[in-house]
């Protein structure tokens, strides 16, 4: 049984769960993945799960991080420091937003 947090800043630790994942492979895929797993001295399941987790982490990092070159970074900073006044469309959107929220 998980213990209760000592204070509100601590999170309760949930029990670990296992989920099932099934995939169908053709013969060439099976042989290729099995060979790679064998070369690393790992089971097929361990190799596939570790590889999938690494690929997922890499994809998330690549898709959520924006990298700017020096020129674009300078332009971005200049726009932040010297922002133009909001136009009519933006002011209208803010009014609509505040009205929806009742602010």
Per the document, the length of the chain is 103
CB 36 within 8 Å of CB 47: yes
Q: So what's the pLDDT on residue 16? A: 82
Q: Is residue 50 classed as helix, strand or coil in its secondary structure?
A: helix
Digit-coded pLDDT (tens) for 30-82: 999 999 999 999 999 999 999 999 999 999 999 998 889 999 999 999 999 99
Q: Is residue 30 classed as helix, strand or coil in its secondary structure?
A: helix
Question: Is 94 inside a domain boundary?
Answer: yes
Question: Is 47 inside a domain boundary?
Answer: yes
Tokens in use for 103? 């602010």
Question: Is 68 inside a domain boundary?
Answer: yes
Q: The pTM is what?
A: 0.54
Exposed/middle/buried for 34, CB within 10 Å: 0-12, 13-18, 19+?
middle
Question: Is 7 inside a domain boundary?
Answer: no
**Domains identified in the chain, total number:** 1
Domain holding 37, by residue range, is: 27-101
Question: Is 69 inside a domain boundary?
Answer: yes
- The Cα 60–Cα 33 span in angstroms is 23
Question: Is 21 inside a domain boundary?
Answer: no
């Amino acid at each position: 049984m998980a213990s209760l947090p000592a204070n509100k800043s601590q999170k309760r630790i949930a029990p670990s769960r296992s989920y099932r994942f099934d995939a169908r492979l053709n013969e060439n895929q099976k042989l290729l993945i099995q060979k790679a797993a064998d070369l690393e001295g790992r089971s097929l399941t361990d190799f596939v799960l570790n590889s999938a987790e690494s690929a997922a982490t890499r994809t998330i990092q690549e898709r959520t991080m924006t990298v700017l070159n020096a020129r674009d970074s300078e332009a971005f900073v200049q726009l932040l420091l010297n922002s133009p006044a909001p136009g009519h469309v933006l002011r209208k959107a803010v009014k609509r937003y505040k009205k929806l929220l009742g602010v």
